[in-house]
Amino acid sequence: MGDRVSRVGGPSMDVVMTLAAVGAALVAVLGDRDSLGVISVAGALLGLVPWALQLAGRPLSLGWFMALGLAGVWLVVVVAENPGGMFPAMVLVVWVMRTGETPVIVATLVAASAAIVVHAVDLGTAHETGLVYFLGGIGISALSGLLLRRQEVMTAELAAMSALQAEHAAGAERERIAREVHDIVAHSLTVVVLHLTGARRLLATDPAGAAEALERAEQVGRESLDQIRGVVGVLRAGGEGADPGLDDLGPLVDRLRAGGVVITASIDVVGATVDATTGLVAYRVVQEALSNAVRHAAGAPVAVTVEATGDGSLVIEVRNGPGRAAPADASRTGLGLRGMGERVRALGGRLEAGPAADGGWVVVARLPLRPRLLAGRTSSDAVAP
């Protein structure tokens, strides 16, 4: 006769409802001098059987639960002519409104109401049987059960939303970690490869120069490892680390120059207050753009411009060429460009990346000096061609 009674409220709700049913049964049997009788006691005990099984962890199907409970009610109210049996009926109505479906709810309400109506008709009086009183009690019990059900549904939905929020937060954190590690590793490996290439070319003609290039490659590799350890350490500790910013752009450019890349840099932020978050994003944009320039246009000159404008923006431009531009699909599949776009978009800025007129490649980012965090934007909108 359908599924077993749901334990929506958990064991604690089972205990509360069972205690309420026991209390209602005691009121029905002991509430009046004339109410204590064999049939009333038998009906009250019969009505407590499904509650005892529910509490024992052996619940009946909802149909059988209501059938036994209502049978006890009818024995007490109709057969024993004891209107106090309506109190257990009210507890049953609360329970079925919490856990039942519409057919079972309707059947329970009709059967419970019919018991007191039949009793009133049998005695020929509505006043002495408390007909109106008990029918009102059935209505209030139905409303109480409905409110309990809605509360439990809302609690479950809130728990599900909390779990979903935690999952989204974990996903966002994974993306952030991936971006950080990518930016550090990609740039460091690019610089290391530049020095190794220079060392290989100088090995036969200039051993001292080759050794110097290898030493620089080793230094960059060690710095990269230190940065990765720092990121992992911050994640483990849950604290804030010392992130790079605009002041670190000079050393960044110098490392590439030492590897043989021709770079001109112009950084003009005099008089502007650059937020730490904006400084970090600016550094990562320049870092990734320079790494892409070295990989996709090796040997071509690179120009870096960072300028604070009068409208409260920080404009970054990295242009390489003329030379071989980045692949046409880089903005769609490259983790670097996508990561840059996500960072810029998260601050309320805009990133444009594409081929330049002279055959090179240009990346332009416009960041607000005071970031407007836009957590709900999608990564597909991050890079504008």
Q: Which residue segment(s) compose the domain that 15 sits in?
A: 10-129
Is residue 124 in some structural domain?
yes
Is residue 166 in some structural domain?
no
pLDDT of residue 116: 87
- Residue that is last in its domain, among 129, 155, 174: 129
Q: Quick one: CA torsion of 269, 270, 273, 275, rounded to 10 degrees?
A: 30
pLDDT of residue 230: 56
Q: What is the pLDDT of residues 129-186, one digit of tens each?
A: 778 888 888 989 889 888 988 888 888 888 888 778 777 766 666 676 666 666 666 6
Please indicate, yes or no, whether residues 253 and 125 belong to a single structural domain of this protein: no
Distance of CA 100 to the CA centre of its chain: 31
Please indicate, yes or no, whether residues 249 and 385 belong to a single structural domain of this protein: yes
Is residue 41 in some structural domain?
yes
Is residue 135 in some structural domain?
no
pLDDT of residue 292: 80
- For residue 311, the domain's CATH number is 3.30.565.10
Is residue 223 in some structural domain?
no
pLDDT of residue 94: 92
Is residue 156 in some structural domain?
no
DSSP secondary structure letter of residue 351: E
Provide the residue type at 231 as one letter.
Answer: V
Is residue 151 in some structural domain?
no
Is residue 167 in some structural domain?
no
Report the SS3 class of residue 138.
helix
pLDDT of residue 343: 79
pLDDT of residue 60: 87
Any idea which residue has 């960044």 for tokens? 252
Six token digits for residue 135: 């029918």
- Residue that is last in its domain, among 112, 129, 146: 129
Please indicate, yes or no, whether residues 255 and 379 belong to a single structural domain of this protein: yes
Q: How far is CA 215 from CA 26, 190, 212, 258, in A?
A: 90, 15, 5, 12
Six token digits for residue 93: 């109505």
Domains: count for the chain:
2
Its sign, for the CA torsion 100, 101, 102, 106, is negative
Q: Enter the pTM of the model.
A: 0.47
Please indicate, yes or no, whether residues 116 and 249 belong to a single structural domain of this protein: no
Q: Quickly list DSSP for 228-279.
A: HHHHHHHHHHTS------GGGHHHHHHHHHHTT--EEEEEE-TT----HHHH
Q: For residue 272, with 0-12 CB atoms within 10 Å meaning exposed, 13-18 middle and 19 or more buried, which class applies?
A: middle
Q: Quickly list DSSP for 213-240.
A: HHHHHHHHHHHHHHHHHHHHHHHHHTS-
Please indicate, yes or no, whether residues 118 and 254 belong to a single structural domain of this protein: no
pLDDT of residue 37: 82
- Residue that is last in its domain, among 113, 129, 145: 129
Spans of the chain, pLDDT less than 70? 1-11, 32-35, 126, 128, 169-174, 176-191, 195, 220, 222-242, 298, 322-336, 371-385
